[in-house]
């Protein structure tokens, strides 16, 4: 028996049917190992040694694979035909070697571009070895992404609190989105006028012509810039004699588009079908892996991660035959069409995306596919057919017209096209041309010297538009043009940007958040080289050369790491205040938008003499007044859709008076969101507005309800201790003796009765809830001043513990990735905040704090850059 290893269980089932009982096909379920998110997974000082780790699920599957291999005669690695697929085969092989189950068994690698019986059997007849350069390119890419993410992200955490991570490709993609937003904000609309004359021929046929010159001076689209000029030209034409100067008709060929690559499929699916890039790839994956056709699973399209535009020679003949059957001989060109990619750094080792059998017409497939699958399959089928069809034959006519009045004249032009032979246009028109009716616009018969009657002249005002925000489709297109990323990375890149809250989608347009703009501003000013488009593209070229065997992968890593690590080391002395001063200038137009003409946008609107500037907290950046705490003005940098949101500087909204205390109740907005407040004393009672509640709907009654929390529910019948209902960090709850039980909704806080609360608490305790001792997640060692340091998991999340000092970890920090260096910084910072409250003598406390700070500083200076960590080396 031979063991065949693929990625997907769906593929495994299909391929096993094709190969028969002498084969056992097993799925790896994608990647089986990855670099663990901890210190030292890649060691630049140890010749870039990489440590791989399998999670629990992968370990189970690898054990199953190893057991099957142990009893097999041959091992066939049949993962996807790209760099990732080659890497998965390599990982599986390394694990099998480590488990010592291979012995002297033959190891073969096979690839196929389609899951059809013929493709599978042909591949099995042509095995090869694992492509070492392709694996090395994968290793280089993975090491680069890890080193950038796990080295740069901690710099962000320290210098720009609230930022989450920075990646090699995601940071460049984010820069594109932010740069476009800056262009939009800086855009100044320009007025221009268009002038059209409605004319008629001697045969009473209507013709519309546009002004293209005045008194011999050419007028382009934006050249008529004022109403006065437009009125003058309009008057000239209204008084002029109008004749035809020339008529030119010439044939034009329009050639079909190349078949789909990954990026062009994502772009067209977005434009034509409204699919997000990730959704397109999910559907395409299903079409590739196979659909049940009459009880047999069959792959309907070829592999969908490719930047190649060629179609396999054996597939071209059937496509030409299908065109002739469907449309006739005239629609089949004399010779097959061959395409080459215009994309920068394109690798054309793989086919374009096409149907595995062109004779599977979408109409026939409709009963086997759901609505979305049918739409995407139809799009791929049409594009593939059109790519091998005859060119469209178009006759384009241009009529030059002269309007003469005395010594003055104006030139006008009328254009039209007639489709003499539709060719591929009968089947497929790319979206960008769908709104263009040029082919259907015909001009009546006209001749040189013919006089035209004037029916009317219109002058219309326009204003230039700013460049549009990127959609997922246009961003992918731009990344492909610049050579940033590869087909398999585009959707992952976009997902990371959204997951990090760096961009948001609004009407399918990508808008950078305040956090995203801060990160881009920081990287563009302090790590400029590493977010340059040319630099990122040149690194991709080197990875491609590794794939081709032209460069050594560790040489590329050494060259990159030497400069990058030095640059990171150079930022250690940067103070947060320096970073904010720079960002205040770089993001001035965004953070401090102009209001009243002549008024300084950085003057605080609340106190009128403070200066506004960017400030940071663990939750991110916000705008605040320099006169804090005397002036409490703050403003969120954005409200989630790229717009500025004013907070309490414009004054709180008064809701009424609390009848019990006589104090004012107000609705306010702080940097952590909207809240209600009672009174104006130094530390007034406050309550956040629950998620899902519209702040504008908050009245005095609701505000007083929130301010009264936690609400007493009653005494527990078993021990007589009080049960309370309240609103916490994780939502509404009931509390009894240290046990928290969730409530279904916020409204339940005010209505839950004693019996229901007792039941919820009992259910929670039955599941193991209740008061618990903090769990130790990681032991870090001893503090320089003595005493163990550990990472623990508490009720409110993970924290670092040293003696009686508990320092909460920054949001989204992986507890397992915390180093001693980070722990010492957090403990020192916490000790600094709480030192005056300690019972220890002042001198001892001060000495201890000084020692901790010095130790931390020393370690920060000597720690190797390679040991920096981040919560995510996610990169696309």
- Number of neighbours of residue 378 by Cβ within 10 angstroms: 18
Give the list of residues 6+ apart from residue 275 with CB closer than 8 angstroms, or none.
269, 283, 372, 376
27-to-5, 31, 80, 176, 288 alpha-carbon distances in Å? 6, 10, 12, 38, 16
Rounded to whole angstroms, how far apart are CA atoms 130 and 124?
14
Which long-range contacts (C-beta less than 8 Å, at least 24 apart) are formed by 776-782? 777/815, 777/816, 778/815, 778/816, 778/818, 780/818, 780/819, 780/820, 780/823, 781/820
Give the list of residues 6+ apart from residue 85 with CB closer than 8 angstroms, or none.
7, 79, 111
Bridge pairing between strands 23-27 and 42-43: unpaired
Rounded to whole angstroms, how far apart are CA atoms 527 and 297?
50
**Angle CA 758–759–761, to nearest 5:** 65
**Angle CA 89–90–94, to nearest 5:** 120
Catalytic residue among 18, 138, 192, 303: 303
Rounded to whole angstroms, how far apart are CA atoms 224 and 846?
74
- CA-closest candidate to residue 634, choices 657, 618, 609, 616: 616
The backbone region for 786, taken as left when phi is positive above 0, alpha when psi lies in -120 to 50, beta otherwise, is left
Rounded to whole angstroms, how far apart are CA atoms 456 and 780?
85
Bridge pairing between strands 107-109 and 74-77: parallel
Rounded to whole angstroms, how far apart are CA atoms 398 and 416?
7
Q: Are 193 and 476 in contact (CB under 8 A)?
A: no
Bridge pairing between strands 107-109 and 739-742: unpaired
Give the list of residues 6+ apart from residue 32 with CB closer than 8 angstroms, or none.
54, 58, 61, 62, 88, 91, 92, 95
The residue length of the chain stands at 876
Rounded to whole angstroms, how far apart are CA atoms 386 and 332?
10
Exposed/middle/buried for 292, CB within 10 Å: 0-12, 13-18, 19+? exposed
DSSP 582-647: HHHHHTHHHHS---STTS-TTB-TTTSSSBEEEEEETTEEEEEETTTTT---EEES-SSSS--EE-
Exposed/middle/buried for 552, CB within 10 Å: 0-12, 13-18, 19+? middle
2-to-23, 63, 69, 125, 507 alpha-carbon distances in Å? 5, 17, 8, 14, 52
Active site residue 633: no
Give the list of residues 6+ apart from residue 375 with CB closer than 8 angstroms, or none.
273
Give the list of residues 6+ apart from residue 621 with CB closer than 8 angstroms, or none.
160, 162, 514, 515, 518, 614, 615, 637
Beta bridge partners of 297: 292
Q: Are 597 and 181 in contact (CB under 8 A)?
A: no
- In 319-391, DSSP assigns E strands to none
807-to-783, 800, 835, 841, 859 alpha-carbon distances in Å? 14, 5, 13, 22, 19
Tell me the three state secondary structure of residue 2: strand
Q: Are 821 and 860 in contact (CB under 8 A)?
A: yes
Return phi, psi of residue 308, to 5°.
-85, 145
- CA-closest candidate to residue 146, choices 269, 51, 62, 246: 51
Residues catalogued as catalytic: 303
């Amino acid at each position: 028996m031979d063991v065949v290893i693929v990625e997907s269980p769906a593929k495994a089932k299909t391929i096993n049917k094709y190969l028969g009982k002498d084969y056992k096909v097993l799925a790896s379920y994608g990647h089986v190992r990855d670099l663990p998110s901890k210190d030292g997974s890649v060691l630049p000082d140890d010749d870039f040694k990489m440590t791989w780790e399998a999670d629990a699920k992968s370990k189970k599957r690898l054990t199953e694979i190893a057991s099957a291999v142990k009893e097999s005669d041959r091992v066939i690695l049949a993962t996807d035909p790209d760099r990732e697929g080659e890497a998965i085969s390599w990982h599986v092989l390394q694990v099998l070697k480590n488990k010592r189950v291979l012995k002297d068994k033959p190891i073969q690698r096979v690839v196929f571009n389609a899951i059809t019986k013929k493709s599978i059997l042909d591949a099995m007849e042509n095995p090869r070895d694992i492509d070492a350069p392709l694996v090395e390119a994968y290793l280089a890419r993975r090491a680069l992404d890890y080193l950038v993410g796990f080295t740069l992200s901690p710099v962000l955490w320290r210098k720009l609190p609230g930022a989450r991570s920075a990646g090699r490709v995601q940071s460049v993609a984010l820069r594109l989105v932010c740069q476009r937003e800056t262009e939009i904000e800086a855009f100044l609309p320009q007025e221009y006028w268009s002038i059209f004359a409605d004319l008629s021929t001697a045969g009473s046929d209507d013709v519309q012509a546009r002004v293209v010159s005045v008194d011999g001076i050419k007028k382009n689209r934006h050249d008529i810039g004022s109403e006065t000029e437009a009125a003058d030209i309009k008057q000239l034409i209204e008084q002029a004699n109008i004749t035809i100067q020339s008529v030119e008709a010439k044939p034009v060929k329009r050639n079909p588009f190349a078949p789909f690559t990954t990026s062009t499929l994502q772009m067209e699916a977005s434009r034509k079908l409204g699919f997000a890039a990730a959704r397109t790839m999910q559907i395409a994956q299903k079409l590739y892996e196979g659909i049940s056709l009459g009880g047999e699973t069959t792959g309907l399209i070829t592999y969908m991660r490719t930047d190649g535009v060629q179609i396999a020679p054996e597939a071209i003949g059937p496509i030409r035959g299908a065109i002739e059957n469907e449309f006739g001989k005239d629609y089949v060109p004399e010779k097959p069409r061959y395409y080459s990619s215009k994309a920068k750094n394109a690798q054309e080792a793989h086919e374009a995306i096409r149907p595995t059998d062109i004779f599977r017409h979408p109409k026939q497939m409709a009963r086997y596919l759901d609505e979305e699958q049918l739409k995407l399959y139809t799009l791929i089928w049409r594009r593939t057919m059109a790519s091998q069809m005859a060119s469209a034959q178009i006759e384009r006519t241009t009529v030059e017209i002269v309007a003469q009045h005395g010594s003055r004249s104006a030139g006008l032009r009328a254009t039209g096209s007639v489709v003499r032979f539709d060719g591929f246009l009968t089947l497929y028109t790319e979206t960008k041309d769908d709104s263009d009716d040029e082919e259907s616009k015909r001009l009546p018969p006209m001749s040189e010297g013919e006089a035209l009657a004037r029916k009317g002249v219109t002058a219309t005002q326009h204003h230039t538009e700013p460049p549009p925000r990127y959609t997922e489709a246009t961003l992918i297109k731009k990344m492909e043009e610049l050579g940033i990323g590869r087909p398999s990375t585009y959707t992952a890149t976009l997902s990371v940007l959204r997951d990090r809250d760096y961009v948001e989608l609004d009407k399918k347009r990508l808008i950078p958040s305040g956090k995203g703009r801060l990160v881009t501003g920081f990287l563009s000013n302090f790590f400029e080289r590493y977010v340059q488009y040319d630099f990122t593209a040149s690194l991709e070229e080197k990875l491609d050369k590794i794939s081709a065997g032209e460069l050594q992968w560790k040489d590329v890593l050494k060259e990159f790491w030497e400069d990058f690590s030095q640059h990171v080391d150079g930022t250690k002395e940067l103070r947060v205040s320096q970073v904010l001063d720079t960002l205040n200038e770089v993001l001035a137009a965004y953070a401090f938008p102009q209001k009243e003409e002549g008024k300084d946008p950085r003057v605080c609107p609340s106190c009128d003499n403070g200066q506004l500037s960017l400030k940071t907290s663990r939750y991110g950046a916000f705008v605040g007044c320099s006169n804090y705490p005397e002036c409490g003005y703050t403003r969120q940098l954005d409200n989630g859709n790229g717009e500025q949101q004013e907070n309490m500087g414009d004054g709180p909204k008064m809701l009424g008076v609390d009848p019990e205390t006589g104090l004012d109740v107000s609705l306010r907005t702080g940097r952590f969101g909207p809240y209600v407040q009672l009174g104006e004393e130094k530390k007034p009672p406050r309550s956040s507005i629950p998620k899902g509640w519209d702040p504008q709907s908050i009245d005095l009654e609701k505000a007083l309800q929130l301010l009264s929390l936690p609400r007493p529910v009653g005494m527990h019948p078993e021990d007589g201790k009080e049960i309370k209902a309240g609103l916490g960090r994780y939502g509404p709850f009931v509390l009894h003796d240290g046990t928290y039980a969730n409530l279904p909704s916020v409204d339940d806080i005010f209505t839950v009765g004693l019996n229901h609360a007792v039941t919820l608490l009992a259910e929670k305790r039955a599941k193991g809830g209740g008061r618990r001792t903090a769990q130790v997640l990681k032991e870090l060692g001893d503090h320089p001043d003595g005493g163990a340091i550990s990472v623990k998991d508490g009720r409110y999340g993970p924290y670092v513990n040293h003696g009686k000092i508990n320092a909460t970890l920054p949001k989204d920090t992986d507890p397992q990735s915390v180093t001693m260096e980070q722990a010492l910084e957090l403990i020192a910072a916490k000790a600094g905040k709480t030192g005056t409250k300690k019972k220890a003598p002042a001198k001892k406390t001060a000495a201890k704090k000084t020692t901790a700070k010095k130790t931390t500083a020393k370690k920060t200076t000597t720690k190797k850059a390679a040991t920096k960590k981040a919560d995510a080396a996610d990169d696309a």
